[in-house]
Amino acid sequence: MKRSLPIALALASVGLMIGACNPFLTGEGLTNDPNNPTTATREALFMGVQATTFGQQESSVALTVCMWMQQCTGGGGRFVEEFGRYVIDENSHNFDFNSVYSGGGLIDIRKIEASAAAAPDSVFLGIAQIYEAHVIGTAADVWGDIPYTQALNAATPTLDNQLAVYDSVQVLLSRAIVNLNGAGPGPGDRDLVFAGDPAAWIEVAHTLKARYFLHTVEAAVAGLLGARTPAQVYADALAQATLGIGNAAGDFDAFHGQATSERNVWYQFQQTTFGIDLVAGKFLVDVLRARSDPRLPQYFAPNASSDWVAHHRYPINSIILDPNGNAELVTAATGDTTSGATQPSWSTTPGTIRVDNNVTWKNYGSPYGGEDVNTAQIVSTVSAVGGTRISPTFRQPFVTWAENELILAEAYNKGAVPNDPLALQHLNNERGSAGLSTLVGITGVALLDSIMTEKYVALFQNIEVWSDYKRTCLPALTPYLTANGALPAYQDKIPGRFYYGANERNTNSNIPAPSAQLSNNGFRNRNDPNACP
Amino acid sequence: MRLSVLAFLCASVGVASLAAQEPVTLSGRVTASGVPIGSVEVVVPSLGLGATTRDDGRYGIVIPGARATPGQTLTVVARRLGYKPSTVQVTLRAGIVEQDFTLAPNPLQLGEIVITGAGTVTEAQKLGSVRNAVDSALVARSNESNIVQALAGKAPNVEVTQQSGDPGASSYIRIRGTRTLSGNGQPLFVVDGVPIDNSSFSTSNFNLNDDLGVGQTDGTVHENRASDLNPNDIESVEILKGAASGAIYGARAGQGVILITTKSGHAGPTRFSLKSSVSFDDLNHHYPLQTRYGEGISGNAPDTSRGGDCDDPGSGSICSRSWGPALAPGSAVYDHSNEAYTTGRVVENDLTISGGNDRTTFYLSGEQYYNNGIIVGNNDQYTRNTVRFRGSHRLADNLKVGANLSYADTRGSFIQRGNNVNGIQLSLLRSPPNFNNLPYLDPQFGLHRTYRFQHPGAGDLVADRGFDNPFYIINEQQNRSKVGRVFGNINAEYTAADWLRVNYTLGADYSNDERLEGCPISSSDVCFAGRVIEGKLVNYQIDHNLSATAKYQLNPNIAGTVTLGQNLNSRNFRQLGNVGRTLITAKPFKVSNTVSRDIPSDAQTIIHNEGYFGQATLDLYDQLYLTAALRNDGSSTFGVQNRRSWFPKGSLAWTFTKVTGERPWLTFGKLRVAYGEAGQEPQPYLTSTNFLSNTIVSGISQGTGETPTQAGLGGLVQGTIKGATALRPERTKELETGFDIGLFRDKSDLSFTYYNAKTEDVILLTPVSAAGTGFTLQASNAATFRNRGLEVTLNMRPIQRQDYGWELGLQWARNRSMVVSLGGAQFVTVGDFEPNVAMVGQELGVIRSIGFLRCGVSASGASAAFDAACAGAAHGALYIDASGFPVVDPDPRVIANPNPRWTGSLRSGFRYKKVQLTALVDVRHGGQIWNGTKGALWSYGTHKDTEDRGASKTFGQGGWWDGPVVGPGAGTAVTIGQNWYRDGDAPCPFTGVDEPCIEDGGYAKLREISVSYTLDAPWVTRTLGVSSVDIRVAGRNLHTWTKYSGYDPETSLGGAAAPVTGIDYFNNPQTRSFNISFTFNR
């Protein structure tokens, strides 16, 4: 026992000594995460911002727009197909909403700006400001009123009026242009788009200014911009586009590489997950085929018969609910023209047969009990979104010379000079570069239609197509009939916006409930006072 | 005090030196009801000597002459679990002293030693909290290889859910409701005084790109590391429920503590025991699939000839669905619900050798466990080989040292499942009934064929197949886990004086887990062109626990103990994983055989804890027992301002029958009340705000997105989790009270417990406004949960005769959880697949999602017609629009509660001579499940429900969405077919409209049934050379009574890695098994 007691005391004191070491709880790797850095240079953050921007412009938002604009059609039965049928909820674009502000988005852009301003590196600052304008401008396009003046600066930031956000974006782009004319080494080769060339970024800034001026034109027509007239808006757009991207080499395109996490996101989605979900949209294929557009094989993969065919809207045996509440069944259809852009003048008499645009409809009477035609039935002959567009390294265009030329064409068409020939000239500039023939002798509304149709084709997969459609209703798309259970607010209409993300609504009392968002202005944004037909 | 201690020490030394020279042998026989009983421990506490009776009831203790004084009177105690201990005074004399004992049954476990954690013990009747113990016999009868699963149905409010029937699948345990959302929410597992690792890790978690951080919902099932224990080694399990009993473990006991004691050797002859068993497993429920309609869409069949519609992998949906024409009578139909399964088998051999003498004991065991699962082929396997040595040696009369060491080699080979086109269930159940999945290689070119790509051409080695053929998955994939693990402890027990005992334990747990997931070269989707994941997990933990317990007795009526202790714990976890893509050549599955690699998954965590604890007990008049304890814990995970935290507990037990006297109908009665506080430490590094290089910054779905590093230039983005500057441990404050009574001369006992637990400072990754902060989540001590419940245990022994007996045990429990506060957010998502949430005022884990417009439930204003129709309508009435269909509610709401209303079990045992029959039925009443598998199969047209396509149904009538309906289309009959199941709102996984997929997940399961017979006739010894042979025939999960339409309501997509229940999405099925075992004892 005399021996044992010291043993116990020794054991106890060993324990106490270990315990007494203060770093036991606070030493290396214990309180600070040993796995990730806690600081980042603006160079490293800039890589993250670029990757995020490329991803944002190529993922859920863009593919939803592609389907709603009928450039693509969703298939495969997954959420893509549901989105295509206008079935969305507040979770659908939740991630996209967050990413505007979170890592790779505004929070990192602001860090780059602060760091560049302190350096000082005026060129880096200017480029970062363009990224900020682009991400915020796109967010205003799809969600309308968004937090901006209080962004990153309030627990529950209020929503800024969408039109005010566009004003802020204009101011920011103007500052970016000033800064790009200043001094500084800039990001150099870390700029994956222009290798740090300030002149190229200045042109992009001007084209973006022109783009965002046009986004307010419908509001100007409706008198929502106070004293500012539509003519002034077009004039501003014209002035900016004149200084905008001067040739295709100046396009703001994404960078993509062969590495897994550097591949074009459209490619990733089509080729590496759950099969082909996006196929050719009927409307776009019809336009491309009708004029033998050389972009057809660039946009879409040929089908097994080396032909390009879009999804049939009304295949045989499809049934829709007509406006009288009767089931109408397609009993016969011929050719690729089975999808009539207009629908027959329905009869209320069961058994009646109507023929429309090569489609034979038979009234099966009420009640409606069949399938919905608008769920894409993809027959094997349909073309996938593919061609040269679906490649891991395809540099997705975001802001381009083509857009700039067509902004010029539209601005001249709507400008102060009646029938200004410059409108057609700029349209033909762009058509020529796309391999299309030169148009002659069209003016006014017909010319506007050609300009907007060409822009619809040229800006394939670009989120901007939706903004153009919402303000001009061109090209004249026919909304898909919505499925059972769709809400009246966008039943048989192309929705005008997305729901705010679920995360933001959960945490920010300034975000209205989805039902309130639906009932506000027909689920359209402020710059879109009038619904399209 | 100090003086008297010294005086006492001197006195005892003096006694020792005066000892006589001749040894004394104490021997005798222990019987109960006239029958000799073995395994009875007979001890002389004052000398620290003891022996164990043999099967003939005899024991012998040799007291060395140096320590035996003739005429000296010693206290000798005989005790065995299940019997009341018997204490006698023996007066020593030279030679042999014969002392027999007769033990009385002890159904109430009075006087039994109960381990209460951190080196403290008490006697059962002194416990102030409810006791739930599981002994080795119950573990053995469960026939489970995973000790966690073996606890199913064994104690009220201990819910155990197995991930699936895969060999080695994890089991998730929940005690008295969920109290944390940190980590995996599992209780602390302590083996022989040392905490062990019970983590679960999905191999897919190495693969950030394809899984968006939710690996456990695809890939394979995974093990929970406590399954590395050999259940045959387990002597007993004490389940410390709740904070009132767990507080001695402080910041790690918030979810309860499972105290496992392994078997040890006993003095006496060396005993051998060999157990050999074999089990046959099979699928316990076939998935209901339709067999009348073939591949196609809208009634049209695809051209399935070579070069036809189904030979273009991108062809889309005419080949993907089974909405084709009715199959002609007599045409071939394939049984996809059955074809992938066979009879699985388990072979287990376990050998133990134990024995010892009065100073040394040993226990040595080895186990081989082999399970080939029910999925055909040899890639569905689990093996475990373990050895354990436990020994103790009395170095000096007052110093006993011991070691307890175990090595486990655990290997699993799994089949992928879940939300995953490279998983078996998704492709198997979606296969059209008229497509033969076999052969899985097309005969012409020997390439992988699937129903969506039926005739791959010569150049199609690498091409998307839509979904992989299930047999290609089963036979060509490799998903492996190889674990080497050593754990154990060295310990010392030093009796400094007969009133002072010092215990020291130094334990370690080290494991290395190597993972491999290899998708072959012709795989689809995220495994396109082949993919290899190789990863390693290294986990080591060291635990030091020192405690000293002093006994005191002030007078005959006042006694007690005081314990002081210290605990230091270090846990290190390291993971390193690599994902390689595009196989260069088909084999081998090595990352070096791939073209490109993702950013490695490389992380480590280190957690240190430092705790001090003290406990004092006070026994008054042998009937009133008070216990108070206090622990102070520091953890490296706590925020800097809150480096240490206090955890108190106190309890009171009163044996009121000492006052009222025993009555024939009330032989024992105890009232108890206990209060305690226990915690859950935060996950490590939540206090850091980081920049990330390996995160996916954008993407559309699984497997898409960009990382910040581009073009070889390193990039970073701000992480989405904002660092928390001040984190405290979560704290559960729990009050429990109840009574234990023995009724009708111990023929029955009843235990009742009520508890009310409030968990404060629950750490949540609380959503924050991304627009306002640039982050989406921040950890904070934001939430308060409450769990309240009742537990009842009733045991009856109506017939107890020497030759036969009948026992009946009933358990019933309910728990109601409530989210009291979330610190501001309306809800916090806790699931990672479906929107399970914590939401204020709701039970934890309810599913908040999209349903249909219902009166009084949905917000008004979504539709004017809806508002009008609901005027005066019944609450919850379903709104039917003019089309005759319900309309989607744009606002999400709580649509399901996966928590059961109550749980219970019924155990019964019959004994006739040497035959025993036992059965256990486990009941879960209520608890809804999101059956996403069904929703998806509706869309694919393979679910049995879709066989009745074209039927006319009216919402609200005839079993079709019964309940009140309103609206312009109410009462309108509609045709239900593809329009509803595929194109309408029914297919919940694709539409996000989850209401159609909610089902009742209640069940009653026949968990166990067994018949055993003990052969111990003299001829057994003569011919076999063993003393007895136990033969047991048993069944496990033989039948499930449930309304649930999927494989099994006991399913858990995320398993033990994701504490969210009620999600079913293409998880592998459960199994039932038949088992026969022989145990040879010598």
Find the CB nearest A5 among B297, B496, B985. B496
Nearest chain A residue to B642, by CA: A25
Look at residue B881 in the predicted model and tell me its pLDDT: 86
DSSP annotation of B374 reads S
**What pTM was estimated for this model as a whole?**
0.81
Match 């979770």 to its residue by tokens: A91
Q: How many interface pairs between A and B have CB atoms less than 8 angstroms apart? A: 449
d(CA B507, CA B490): 6
Phi, psi of B711 (to 5 degrees): 55, 35
Look at residue A229 in the predicted model and tell me its pLDDT: 94
**pLDDT by residue (tens digit) across B916-952?**
899 999 999 999 999 999 999 999 999 999 999 888 9
Match 């001040």 to its residue by tokens: B726
Q: Work out the pLDDT band at A485, boundaries 50, 70, 90.
A: very low
Chain B interface disruption, residue of A38, A96, A273, most B CBs within 10 A: A273
Q: ipTM beyond 0.95? A: no
Q: Are B569 and B525 in contact (CB under 8 A)?
A: no
B695 touches chain A (CB under 8 A): yes
The chain-wide mean pLDDT, for chain B, equals 87
| Tokens, residue B677 | 């506080």
A501 touches chain B (CB under 8 A): yes
d(CA B888, CA A515): 11
Hey, which residues 851-890 in chain B have their CB within 8 Å of chain A?
852, 858-859, 861-863, 865, 881-888, 890
User: Over 90: is that where the pLDDT of B70 sits?
Assistant: no
Look at residue B618 in the predicted model and tell me its pLDDT: 93
Q: Is A372–B979 a contact, with Cβ atoms under 8 angstroms apart?
A: yes
A364 touches chain B (CB under 8 A): no
d(CA B499, CA B547): 14
Coarse DSSP helix, strand, coil percentages of chain A, rounded to the nearest 5 percent: 50, 5, 45
User: Over 90: is that where the pLDDT of B1023 sits?
Assistant: no
Instruction: Find, among B153, B109, B125, B352, the residue nearest to B235 by Cα.
Output: B352
d(CA B232, CA B926): 34
| Tokens, residue B572 | 């290190």
d(CA B1061, CA B1068): 15
A89 touches chain B (CB under 8 A): yes
Per-residue pLDDT averaged across B504-517, rounded? 95
For residue A261, list chain B residues with Cβ-Cβ distance below 8 A.
Answer: 209, 598-599, 696, 705-707, 709
Q: Which of A353-367, B168-182, B771-785 has the lowest mean pLDDT?
A: A353-367
Instruction: Find, among B601, B510, B655, the residue nearest to B196 by Cα.
Output: B510
The per-residue b/e assignment along A153-173, b for 16 or more CB within 10 angstroms, e otherwise, is ebebbebbbbbebbebbbebb
Hey, which residues 171-210 in chain B have their CB within 8 Å of chain A?
209
Look at residue B661 in the predicted model and tell me its pLDDT: 82
Look at residue A491 in the predicted model and tell me its pLDDT: 63
Per-residue pLDDT averaged across B488-497, rounded? 91
User: Over 70: is that where the pLDDT of A321 sits?
Assistant: no
Nearest chain A residue to B774, by CA: A102
Find the CB nearest A102 among B320, B606, B720. B720
Quickly list DSSP for B314-370.
Answer: T--TTTT-B-SPBPPTT-----TTTTTB--EEEEEEEEEEEEE-SSEEEEEEEEEEE
A82 touches chain B (CB under 8 A): yes
Instruction: Find, among B636, B590, B591, B576, the residue nearest to B611 by Cα.
Output: B636
CB atoms within 10 A of CB A491: 16
Chain A interface disruption, residue of B769, B829, B1065, most A CBs within 10 A: B769
For residue B991, list chain A residues with Cβ-Cβ distance below 8 A.
Answer: 82, 87
For residue B606, list chain A residues with Cβ-Cβ distance below 8 A.
Answer: 29-30, 34
For residue B464, list chain A residues with Cβ-Cβ distance below 8 A.
Answer: 271, 275-276
Residue type (1 letter), B191: V
Look at residue A25 in the predicted model and tell me its pLDDT: 85
Per-residue pLDDT averaged across A370-399, rounded? 67
**pLDDT by residue (tens digit) across B961-1017?**
999 999 998 999 988 888 889 877 888 888 788 999 999 999 999 999 999 988 888
The CA distance from B220 to the nearest CA of chain A, in Å, is 18
A20 touches chain B (CB under 8 A): no
For residue A10, list chain B residues with Cβ-Cβ distance below 8 A.
Answer: none
User: Over 70: is that where the pLDDT of A356 sits?
Assistant: no
d(CA B289, CA A414): 62
Dihedral, CA of residue A433, residue A435, residue A437 and residue A440, to nearest 10: -20
Find the CB nearest B859 among A26, A157, A515. A515
Q: How are beta strands B666-680 and B601-620 bridged, if at all?
A: unpaired
Q: Work out the pLDDT band at A330, boundaries 50, 70, 90.
A: low
Q: Is A47–B709 a contact, with Cβ atoms under 8 angstroms apart?
A: yes
The CA distance from B299 to the nearest CA of chain A, in Å, is 8
Q: Work out the pLDDT band at B119, boundaries 50, 70, 90.
A: confident
**pLDDT by residue (tens digit) across A107-135?**
999 999 999 999 999 999 999 999 999 99
Alpha-carbon distance values, A36 to A33, A463, B307, B573, B713 (Å): 6, 34, 52, 16, 17
d(CA B409, CA B510): 12
Q: Is B974–A63 a contact, with Cβ atoms under 8 angstroms apart?
A: no
Instruction: Find, among B616, B626, B630, the residue nearest to B673 by Cα.
Output: B626
Which long-range contacts (C-beta less than 8 Å, at least 24 apart) are formed by B13-22? Answer: B13/A1, B15/B69, B16/B66, B16/B67, B18/B69, B19/B65, B19/B66, B19/B67, B19/B68, B19/B69, B20/B65, B20/B68, B20/B69, B20/B70, B21/B65, B21/B66, B22/B65, B22/B68, B22/B70, B22/B94, B22/B95
Look at residue A273 in the predicted model and tell me its pLDDT: 61
Nearest chain B residue to A48, by CA: B708
Q: Are A208 and A462 in contact (CB under 8 A)?
A: no
* Residue A250 CB partners (closer than 8 Å, separation 6+): A200, A203, A204, A401
CB atoms within 10 A of CB A199: 11
Look at residue A410 in the predicted model and tell me its pLDDT: 97
B725 touches chain A (CB under 8 A): no
User: Over 70: is that where the pLDDT of B26 sits?
Assistant: yes
Find the CB nearest A506 among B606, B767, B977. B767
Instruction: Find, among B471, B463, B989, the residue nearest to B702 by Cα.
Output: B989
End-to-end CA distance of chain A: 99
User: Over 60: is that where the pLDDT of A284 sits?
Assistant: yes
Q: Are B530 and B461 in contact (CB under 8 A)?
A: no
d(CA B806, CA B1032): 18
A365 touches chain B (CB under 8 A): no
A331 touches chain B (CB under 8 A): no
Q: Are A487 and B862 in contact (CB under 8 A)?
A: yes
Instruction: Find, among A113, A152, A127, A125, the residue nearest to A53 by Cα.
Output: A127
d(CA B127, CA B121): 10
Per-residue pLDDT averaged across A263-287, rounded? 80
Q: For every residue of B675-704, which 3-state class applies, written as one string?
A: EEEEEECCCCCCCCCCEECCCCCCCCCCCC
Per-residue pLDDT averaged across A444-459, rounded? 96
For residue A315, list chain B residues with Cβ-Cβ distance below 8 A.
Answer: 298
d(CA B762, CA B840): 13
User: Over 90: is that where the pLDDT of B54 sits?
Assistant: no
Per-residue pLDDT averaged across B341-355, rounded? 93
Dihedral, CA of residue A402, residue A407, residue A412 and residue A413, to nearest 10: 100
Find the CB nearest B706 among A54, A275, A315. A54
Q: Is B706–A262 a contact, with Cβ atoms under 8 angstroms apart?
A: yes
| Tokens, residue B83 | 């019997």
d(CA A201, CA A7): 77
For residue A12, list chain B residues with Cβ-Cβ distance below 8 A.
Answer: 502, 546, 548, 566
d(CA A468, CA A475): 9
